[in-house]
Structure 1
Amino acid sequence: MSDIIDSTDAFVMNLFKDKLPNNFVYHNYTHSKRVYKSINDIIEESQINVKDATVLKLAALLHDTGYTETRDGHEEVSAKIARKFLKSQNVDEEIIEGVVKCIIATKFDVDPKDSMEEMIKDADSSHFGKKYFDEASEFLRQEYKLQGIKEYTANEWRNENINVLVKKHQYYSEYAMNKWQPQKEKNLANLIKEKKKLKKTRKKEDMKAQLKAKYKEASPDRGIQSFYRVALRNHIKLSDIADTKANILLSVNAIIISLVLSNLLSKLDSNDFLVIPTAIFVLSSATTMILSVIATRPNVTRGEFTKEDVANKSVNLAFFGNFHKMELSQFEWAMEELLKDREYIYSSLTKDLYFLGKVLDRKYRILRTTYTIFVIGTIISIISFGISFYISGHPVEVPTIEVN
């Protein structure tokens, strides 16, 4: 009998290799050999005769050969292929009929009628009670997807497996009940545990989404946040521009005064007519420098606040001048109170924006006056030099200044 088993094994392997499409990643030769191994395990622990054992082994190898021609009704096609092949091998008719009967019994929705059918059905579904259940199940899911039967999500496939294990499948033989049923129950428990875990995770995600939506509704629109961000940034840029302008005036006039004092001062004794225009020139430059310094001079604040100030929301913690003298612990406490209150946060930003505007107003007013004095002083100085030269009888020309 071992010869017919070997011949059948070789026949099935070659048949699948030549005719089975590549998208059968579960129902293939590997699956047939797995069923064959499982039926051997059952046979070894069961008291059956050699003929029945041969029938079961042949049925295990041949039960899915019909997939080479069709998926629907493949059991009947497998039975025909088995009958034709076994007849060609001069196998006893009784064995052939037994094989055909066992193959038809592998239909998932058919109840077994005797112990032989129970054994072959248990062997065909042995993966339900094996540790490699997840792997085998995933191959079946991919096969459905590749063949366009149905594309299951991971959650849908988990639910489908739970439904099959609970409602549609059972083991019949004594061996399967003793050896495979415990692992089947573990596999089922793992599926249920994963389902509960996923449900719990989704519940948390839904809750987070609800809280996020609620917080978003309660919080200001992004347009308000963008307004504060852009307004504060623009005010800071304008402040930088004002400081730059003041520094330019300060530097230019410092150079002018330095050159005037070093070149004209020594000539005033012999040129009295230059005293008044030089004084006007130096005075306008000095005034310009003083106003430039005033424009950029920082204001010193007290740098302290009290708990009452925080409670009354009267202190602006967005500005360093209000807290630079405070202890770190007090500042951290105040910031925690600030961050708890959305209205306080935006009130602080509003105050910061307002006082930045006040500072800018002061800077630009002083700078405007400074530029005016610088321009007028320069014009008056030039006119004064011209008048002085005219009155004194000297040629009208601006005295040259030598740069050392």
Structure 2
Amino acid sequence: METIETMKPAKAEILKKAKSYVTALFEEKLPRQLVYHSLKHTAAVVKEAKALGEASQLGDADLEALVLAAWFHDTGYTEVYDGHEYRSMEMAQQWLTEQGYPADRIAVIKDVIRATHRDEAAETELQELMVDADMSSMGREDFFSNAELLRAEWETMLGKCYSNTEWAETQLNFLLAAKFHTDAAKDRYKDQFKDNIKQQRKLLKKTEKKVKKKEEESTGTFAEPKRGIETMFRTMYSNHMKLSDMADKKANMMISLNAVLMSVIITYAGAKMGKTAALGSLFAKNPILGVPMGILLVTALGSVVTAILCAQPDVTSFKWLKRSPQIATNRRVNLLFFGNFSKLSLDDFQHGMTEIMREKDALYTNMVTDIYYLGDVLTRKYRLLRISYTIFMVGLILTALSFGIAMLYKA
């Protein structure tokens, strides 16, 4: 009687030690990418293995072996992914040997873990119970949430990428082909297992409908456009308008600034011609000052001319040929821009707009063409604006240098 009482606490102690060891091992070494084969999964398998073992009325020794195998069955994941079961067997043997566990029982536990490998057959009752506990998720309510975790894990660890439809088909095929080995598992999971299959079928149909709807939207007319395309065109048009407005403001600033400079310089030049004026007397005494003033006048003139060209309205146009057959789909014609359609007759314009409203490709072509010509105008504006700023900058530098040289010459 004393022997039996001392054995039970010993069994409980080895299970507690195994739990502590595996928990610490997973927290320290299990890769974070393993979102499905985590400590939570192992704890769930241990719980199900214990429940199935008790339902099967296993003896204490076999129940203990089953629970220990459940704790260690995924420990190999800390070192290797594919074939982790065999590494789990080695790790279980090493730890149990250190605990002084009987060698014959260690061999039983290793055989139970081996059965969880996809290529190994479950032959004994313990092996079947272990496999059922490991696959118990397909008969539980958390099947679908666990399936998404497994999908994320496979994408990260194995590089397997599935579309929603492919994944739904994979899961349904898995459920239809799967089965529980023991009567205890069949009784425990049968109702939820059937319900999961039913829900997976519904999910697959729902996913297929979504895919079909997306395909119809992508091949439909532009009267029902994809939101992403609308957003793209809206953003591009907005950016082009902002850039054009910015270029015009910068050009107007250069026109105003250089106009003021030219007015001042011309005033000085007039003063130079008027010998009786004070400024004229100054230029008469220091004629070399006319050099920096002349440089500033010339560069200001060049800068203001290029700025005016930049701000000058520019309308892109094309040479319309009567023999051109398709107006709306002609890549050279932009019916959305007045510079193009104003060269057409009213009948041709109406015909072209009707084609655009009827055909998606025609509208795409015209919108892309419109953006292209807007970009062409912007390219010219910013090129002239850059030239204007460059001339102005060079003029200021040369004026400052020539003025400094004049001062040195005077000295």
Distance in structure 2 (CA, Å) of the matches to 1:177 and 1:10: 31
Task: Specify whether residues 14 and 201 from structure 1 end up closer, same or farther in structure 2 by C-alpha distance, changes over 3 A only.
Answer: closer
Residue of 175, 192, 201 corresponding to 2:210: 201
Question: 2:38 matched to 1:40?
Answer: no
Match of 1:56 among 53, 66, 77: 66
- Among the aligned pairs, what percent are the same residue? 29
Match of 1:145 in 2: 155
Query: Which residue of structure 2 aligns with residue 155 of structure 1?
Result: 165
Question: Judging changes above 3 Å, is the alpha-carbon distance between structure 1 residues 199 and 151 closer, same or farther for their aligned structure 2 residues?
Answer: closer
Matched AA of 1:186: D
In the TM superposition, 1:332-347 aligns within 5 A as: none
Could you tell me which residue of structure 2 aligns to residue 79 of structure 1?
Answer: 89
- Measured against aligned partners, the alpha-carbon deviations of 1:265-313 in whole angstroms (never above 9, x if no partner) come to xxxxxxxxxxxxxxxxxxxxxxxxxxxxxxxxxxxxxxxxxxxxxxxxx
Residue identity opposite 1:5 in structure 2: L
CA distance in 2, matches of 1:207, 1:30: 42
Structure 1 residue 34, shift from structure 2 partner: 0.8
Residue type of the partner of 2:180? Answer: Y
* 2:76 maps to 1:70: no
1:133 equivalenced with 2:152 (yes/no): no
- Identify the match of residue 39 of structure 2 among 13, 29, 39: 29
Q: Distance in 2 between matches of 1:72 and 1:232?
A: 65
Alignment root-mean-square deviation, CA? 3.4
Does residue 4 of the first structure (1) align with residue 14 of the second (2)?
A: yes
How far off is 1:201 after superposition? 3.4
Distance 1:110 1:221, change over 3 A: same
Aligned in 2, Cα 1:87/1:128: closer, same or farther, shift over 3 Å? Answer: same
Q: Deviations over 1:350-381 (max 9, x none)?
A: xxxxxxxxxxxxxxxxxxxxxxxxxxxxxxxx
Deviation at 1:196, TM superposition (A): 1.5
Q: 2:188 aligns with which of 176, 179, 184?
A: 179
CA distance in 1, matches of 2:16, 2:110: 19
How far does residue 151 in structure 1 lie from its aligned partner after superposition? Answer: 2.6
Larger Rg: 1
- Number of residues paired by the alignment? 239
Whole-Å separation in 1 of the counterparts to 2:142 and 2:334 = 56
Alignment pair present for 1:13 and 2:10: no
1:180 counterpart letter in structure 2: Y
SS in 2 for 1:83: helix
**2:100 match: secondary structure:** coil
One-letter code aligned to 2:173: N
Contact 2:54-2:63 within 8 A present in 1 as well: no
Structure 2 residue identity aligned to 1:160: T
Cα 1:210–1:37 change in 2 (3 A) is same
How far has the Cα of 1:214 moved from its partner? Answer: 11
Cα distance 1:211–1:69, how it changes in 2: closer, same or farther (>3 A)?
Answer: closer
88 and 203 in structure 1: CA distance in 2 versus 1, 3 angstrom threshold: same
What displacement does 1:54 show? 0.2
Cα distance in structure 2, aligned partners of 1:162 and 1:147: 22
Q: Would you say 1:122 and 2:132 are equivalent positions? A: yes
Give 1:107 shift.
1.1
How far apart, in 1, do the equivalents of 2:77 and 2:211 lie? 40
Partner residue, 1:190: 199
Which SS does the other structure have where 1:163 is aligned? helix
Moved over 6 A (4+): 213-216, 222-226, 231-235
> Residues of 1 paired with 2:58 and 2:333: CA distance?
82
Distance in 1 (CA, whole Å) between partners of 2:155 and 2:224 is 41
Distance change >3 Å, CA 229–CA 97, structure 1 → 2: same
TM-score by length of 1: 0.52
Give the whole-Å Cα distance in 1 for the aligned partners of 2:88 and 2:53: 22
In the TM superposition, what whole-angstrom CA distance separates every residue of 1:292-344 from its partner, at most 9, and x where no partner exists?
xxxxxxxxxxxxxxxxxxxxxxxxxxxxxxxxxxxxxxxxxxxxxxxxxx69x
Map Cα deviations across residues 34-65 of structure 1 (whole Å, 9 max, x no partner). 10011122123221110010000000000111
Cα distance per residue 1:237-262 (max 9 Å; x no partner): xxxxxxxxxxxxxxxxxxxxxxxxxx
Deviation at 1:222, TM superposition (A): 9.2
Q: Give the match's secondary structure for 1:144.
A: helix
Q: CA deviation at 1:200?
A: 2.8
SS in 2 for 1:180: helix
Q: CA deviation at 1:194?
A: 1.7
Whole-Å separation in 2 of the counterparts to 1:110 and 1:222: 66
